[in-house]
Structures are given as structure tokens and as C-alpha cells.
Chains A and B, each alone.
Chain A
Amino acid sequence: MNNAPVPLAEGLNALIAGLILISAFAMVATRQMQGVLRFFVLQSALLAASSFLIGYSRHSIHLLALGFITIAAKVIAIPWVLKRTLPSEVYERREIEQVLNIPSSLLLALLLAIAAEFIVGPIAAVSRDPVVRVNLPIGLAGVLIGGYSLIARREALPQLIGILAMENGAFFAGIAISPELPLIAELAVAIDVVLIAVVVGVLTRTITREIGTTSPALLAELKEEPQPWH
């Protein structure tokens, strides 16, 4: 029983990995703005929990710090910043426009998750670390599913949350494969993530004010068309 905490931590980590994947699916399946934001906060909290867990079991102060940074940036700062900068009608809109309907989107997300396993599975299998074998494919799946919702959704705020969900996926893989990353790099990355949210938030507010919509699909003036020779 003297080795019990380590397998337990790994088991819990695998559970968290599953929950992170489910929350990625949930973000694809949710049609309401508030719901998408809530699942994003949940996913970020799960990411923080995973880095606390691995940090505790591997005695890595970096991962504990990363957990706190994640909570500060993604669970507290970003939702607060978005609520402050964005006009309430962006939130009050109930339904998010989407290119594909929800069932097809879920099917595609499932295919992306399987593809992620196939892409990095062989690479992760080389590592003897069981945490890497869980985190790397699921992290990549998070990146791909976030990227999908970014492409499929036709509104500014869900697109921003898609980017942040991609970032969560990248970090979830990152805490397994590079746990000793210098703290200054982690801090810089966290500041950067908050800045992304601020800039895109400001841009969204300007677009809403000037044009009256947050649907980039309606912005389609700039493109190349063949011109007749004259």
C-alpha cells in the first residue's frame, strides 16, 4: 500500500481527462451563450484541478503555480472581463447561429477526438509515463474540437471561447509533457491569454456598436473577384 497515492493520482487524472473531453463536447452541444461560457469555466477549473493533482503527486511547484494561474486567469479574470466589456445583448441572445446542426457537430467532434488519438497515440505510447498517454491525445482532441467550434459558430463571443478552449487543450497536454517549464514562461502565457480575451472583447464591443451585429457571417465585403480587363 506504500505506493497507493501515485496510482490513485493517475486514476483521478484520467477521470479529469474524461471530464475535460466531455466538457469540450458539451460546449459543442450547447446552443446558449451563457451555457457555453459556464462549460468553459468548468473546463478551466478541471484543468487547474489536474495540474494541482499532478503537481502534488510529482512534487512540482511549477504545476501548482500553473493551477493557481489558470484559476486566476480563466476561471475568474476572463469571465469577469467579458461581462464588463461586452454589452448585455451579446449575452441575452439565446441561440447561437451555427453552420452545422448539433447532432452532426457532435459526430464531427467525436471523429476529431478519435483522429487525435490516432495522430499522437503512437508518439504518446513511446513515453512510459501514463499521464502523458492520457493527457496528450485528450489535449490535442481539446485543441481540435475548440478549433471546430471556432469555424462552425457564427458569432464573436462563441468564437472567442472556442479559442480559449483550444488553449485549455494545449495546456492540458502541456502539463503532462513539459511540467518543468520555467515559471516566467507560464506567467507570460497566462497574461497573454487574458490579453487575447481583452482585445477580442474590445473588438467585439466596437463591432457591435458600429455595425450592430456580432455575427461575422454578415461581414463579407472584402474579397477578391475577377475583374474584366479594361
Chain B
Amino acid sequence: MALIVAVFLPLLAALLCWIKPLRSVAWGITVVCLALSLVTSAVSSQQVIVAGRAIGVPGWIEIDGLGALVILLVSFVCTLAAIFARGYMRRGSDHHERLWWFYCNYNLLTFALIVVPALTDPNLAWVGVELVTLFSVLLVAFESTAPALEAAWKFSILTIMGAPISLLGFLVLYWAYRGAGGATTESWQALHALASVMSPNLLKLSFLLVFVGFGAKSGLVPMHTWLPDAHSQAPTPVCAVLSGIKTTVPLYVILRLLSVILASPEARIGEWMVVFGLISVAVAAFLLLQVRDYKRMFAYSTVEHMGIILTAAGFATQAGASGAVAQMLNHSLTKSLCFYAAGIVLLSLGTRQIRDVRGLFRVSPFAAGALLLCALAIAGAPPFPIFLSEFSILSAGLRSGHNAAVAILATLIVVAFVAIMLQVNRMIFGKSDLYSLPEAMPASCRTAVVLGAIPILLLGIFIPQPVHALLVLAAQQLGGR
């Protein structure tokens, strides 16, 4: 029951925002509904920890450990980003009369994001991922400026082009599933059960098509070119959702399918995933060195982290899977915080160029502190959770005998670390003589930053028992030797 509420509350919120008399309180509706959705998804995660599964509509809407983790992340990130949106959109947007439309779309996007991990049928999950793409296109284009429209266009063509390709992939998957004697309705669980008897060639073809189609949506190289554009041009709360969780959700589907393929004894493709993951990390790490816009910098860092998660899953061991899910959790939490920090810098100074920001620490200690904190956290400095998950991924790689891959990955992580710290260092320290004192920061933006920083500071030192249990369950779903 809690699961149904968690999934459908964002849809209800979207409908309420659409109703004319309620349009002026669209923000309030959004935050209340999403916060309730967060609470109910925490309740259903608790059910998963106790019983192994939480069931909304039997056979259609059910979650296991991995689904619970992703649902929890979606509702957390979307709730905080909605809080952040109030102050940001009031000051940063030119379209105050259309804000209800923004919130309406935002709730639809949240619904689409939350429904993908909840659906048991892979074909419906495909539909969910396409809906995610469509609503995010509308949000990227919200400001209607020429660069925003350009970004939205690139984004829509590259990612929607993936739709028919991945559709063919899912149809081939269904063919393989029926050929192995599966029932007419398909589910991830049933696919797992039949993985060893399904035709390995069909499984490989299906995975290839889905990987191309959904890889474009999660920003894996070479289909990543839309990502920095969309993430730099969209309104910042949307960037937080896009970078933090919208890239994770298609990757979740890829990982689910990968775990089915890895359960098939003949279709070994883990090594390929390691190679593709490393290519993404490498391209992103070197682009991070020459980026000029700090929102684009965090967008490239998303490409890097998607590559790391894919590499970890490609190790095809239980340890690699735990590293991958932990990295997924830590990346979503940290990356959304990065965009809140970037958003308040943008609000105070009105520029996205790194070279125009100098001596931020003297101008706005709060913004500078937040930016420094999340730059350290996203680059993977020691007391923060990403350090732990990256470390566990590297050690999982060594234990599974991927020594060369681990060496390359470690080098690239260091390159990305240096790149991010160099860029942020230039922004925060030094002399500031360019601008007058900024206006006071909106309280809602500060609240979002503070709330978002709590889990980052906490998870690096101490992982609460329920979170740990959920991570273990999620890693079991991904499987591996």
C-alpha cells in the first residue's frame, strides 16, 4: 500500500498543479506530495528489508532491494530539488507566470522516474524511461532561450533516437524469454529464473540494443554529448534531478538486464562493460580538465561516475555489485548537492564561467563552503562516502583479477580529482574585485543545501543499519559470482 502511495503521489501532485485555482500554490503542493512520497517510500523500503519484497499491485508494481534503493533515491533527490526550486526559480527564472507549468512537469518527471524501478515488467520499464526523457526535454527547454532550446533539441534527438533501438532490444528479450518457455507476462524475477536456458545469442543481441539505446540516456560515451549541454542550460533544480538521478534510472535498467545476462552461463559480456565503463571515465576525466563552465564541470563528472558504476558492475562479482550500488547511492546524493551549490553560486554572481568567478570565499562564505564541500565529496576525498565506494570498487576489481582495469581506473579517478579541485580552487580562493556584494540567499536554497549535506557528511563516517541492509539486498539483486 505504501508503495502505491509513494509511486502515485507525484502524479497526483502534477494533476493538482494543473487545476487553475491551485496554480498559485503549485510549489507547496509539490513539496508536500513529494515529501509524503519520500516517507512512504522509506516505509516500503523498510518492508523490503524485513520481507525481501514490497508489493503494491501484485505482478505489476513490486520492489526488491535494488528497486527500493532507487525509489528512495528518486524521492529524496526530487524532494530536496523541489525545495531548492522555490528560491531559485523565483529569482533565476524569467517566466513567473508559467511556474505552475514548471512544477506540473517536474512532478510528472518525478512520477516517471519513480515508476521505472517499481515496475516488474521490463517492457513497461521501457515506457517509463521514455516518459522520463520526454518530461526532462520539456524542463530543459523551460527558459526558452536560444541556448536552452539548442540543448533541449540535442537532448531530445540523441536520447529519443535511443527509444526505437532499445524497444527492439526489449522485443528480442521477450522473444528469448518466450522461447525459453516463459509465461506471457514478463518480469525481472522470471527473467532471472530462466536466464540459464534462454538463447545466449538472443540475450546478447537484446543487451546490445538496450545498451545502445539506454546508454545514450545515461550519458555513456560516445552518446554523452547532449549531457553537458542539457545540464548547463536547464534550470538548476532540474539539473540536480537530471544529473543526480535521471542518468541513474536508465543505468538501473541496464544493470538489471546485465545481471540477467551474467546469470546466463554462455553470454559473458562483463569484460566489455569494463571497457565501455573505462572509456566513459577516461573521456570525462580529460574533458574535466578543460571545461569552462562550472555547471558543465559537474555534468562531465556525472559521465565519469556512470562509467565507474558500469565498470564495477562489469567485474561481475558480488563485491563489484556492492561497489556499484554504493556508488549509485553516493553519486546521486553528492551530485544533487553539487548542483545546489552551483545554483547558489549562479544566483549570487549571475555567471556560469569559471574564469569570471574569483575569490568566492570573501564574497559569499556560505556558497564557497558548500561548493568546496561538494567538490571534495564528488571528487572522492577521504572522509566522504564516494571515497569509500570508489575504494571498494577498486579492491573488488583487484580481487576479481582485473588488475589492468583497476590501474587505469585509479589513474583516471586521480586525474578527475585533480581537475575538479583545480577548477574549484580557482573559483573559491584568490582576490575578488569583480563584483559587488550579492543579495541575500533565499532561505529555501540554504535549507536544501543543508539538508543535502547531512547524508554526505554522515555516510562517510557511519552507515546506518537500514541503509546497510538495503545496500546488501540491492547488491544481491545485481548478483555475480
Cβ–Cβ < 8 Å partners of A170 in chain B: 164-165, 167-168, 171
For the complex, what is the distance from the CA of A225 to the CA of B134, rounded to whole Å? Answer: 29
Q: Flag if A150 contacts B167 (CB, 8 Å).
A: no
Main secondary structure of the interface of B (DSSP, over half): helix
**Taking CB as reference atom, which chain B residue is nearest A166?**
B164
Q: How large is the interface on A (under 10, 10 to 19, 20 to 34, 35 or more residues)?
A: 35 or more
Verify A216–B157 contact, CB threshold 8 A: yes
Chain A residues in 8 Å Cβ range of B89: none
Whether a CB of chain B sits under 8 angstroms from the CB of A195 is: yes
Bound form: Cα–Cα A226–B289 in Å? 9
Q: What's the Cα separation between A185 and B123 when bound, in Å?
A: 6
Q: Does residue B202 face the partner (Cβ distance < 8 Å to A)?
A: yes
Total interface residues on B, CB under 8 Å, equals 52
Chain A residue contacts of B150, Cβ below 8 A: 216, 219-222
Task: Report yes or no: B171 in contact with A178, Cβ–Cβ below 8 A.
Answer: yes
Once bound together, how far apart are the Cα atoms of A182 and B121, in whole Å?
A: 10
Report yes or no: A222 in contact with B151, Cβ–Cβ below 8 A. Answer: yes
A147 within 8 A of B: yes
> What string of 1s and 0s marks CB contacts (under 8 Å) between B227-243 and chain A?
01100110000000000
Q: With A173-B168, A221-B147, A224-B287 known to touch, is A195 a contact of B134 (CB < 8 Å)? A: yes
Check A177–B175 contact: CB distance below 8 A.
Answer: yes
**Out of B121, B157, B164, B228, which one reaches A146, CB within 8 Å?**
B164
Main secondary structure of the interface of A (DSSP, over half): helix
Q: Which residue of the partner chain A has the closest CB to B155?
A: A203
The interface residues of chain A lying within 8 Å CB-to-CB of B131 are 192, 195
Name which of B137-145, B267-275, B315-323 contacts chain A. Answer: B137-145
**How does the 8 Å CB contact mask read for B185-209 relative to A, with 1 for contact and 0 for none?**
1100000000000010110010000
User: Which residue of the partner chain A has the closest CB to B300?
Assistant: A224
Kindly provide the distance from the CB of B61 to the nearest chain A CB, expressed in whole angstroms: 12
The residues of A that contact B151 with a CB separation of less than 8 Å are: 222
Subset of 30 A-B contacts with CB under 8 Å: A120-B205, A123-B202, A126-B199, A143-B168, A146-B164, A163-B157, A170-B168, A171-B167, A174-B167, A174-B168, A178-B178, A180-B184, A189-B123, A191-B127, A192-B163, A195-B131, A196-B163, A200-B156, A203-B137, A206-B141, A207-B149, A210-B144, A219-B146, A219-B149, A222-B147, A222-B150, A222-B154, A225-B292, A227-B290, A227-B292
Binding site for B on A (CB under 8 A): 120, 123, 126, 139-140, 143, 146-147, 150, 156, 159, 163, 166-167, 169-171, 173-174, 177-178, 180-182, 184-185, 188-189, 191-192, 195-196, 199-200, 202-203, 206-207, 210-211, 216, 219-222, 224-227, 230
Known: A120-B205, A163-B157, A222-B151. 18 other contacts (CB 8 A): A143-B164, A147-B165, A170-B168, A171-B167, A178-B175, A182-B123, A185-B121, A196-B130, A199-B156, A203-B138, A203-B153, A211-B146, A219-B153, A221-B147, A222-B233, A224-B290, A224-B292, A227-B292
Interface residues of B (CB under 8 A from A): 121, 123-124, 126-127, 130-131, 134, 137-138, 141, 144-147, 149-154, 156-157, 160-161, 163-165, 167-168, 171-172, 174-175, 178, 184-186, 199, 201-202, 205, 228-229, 232-233, 287, 290-292, 296, 355
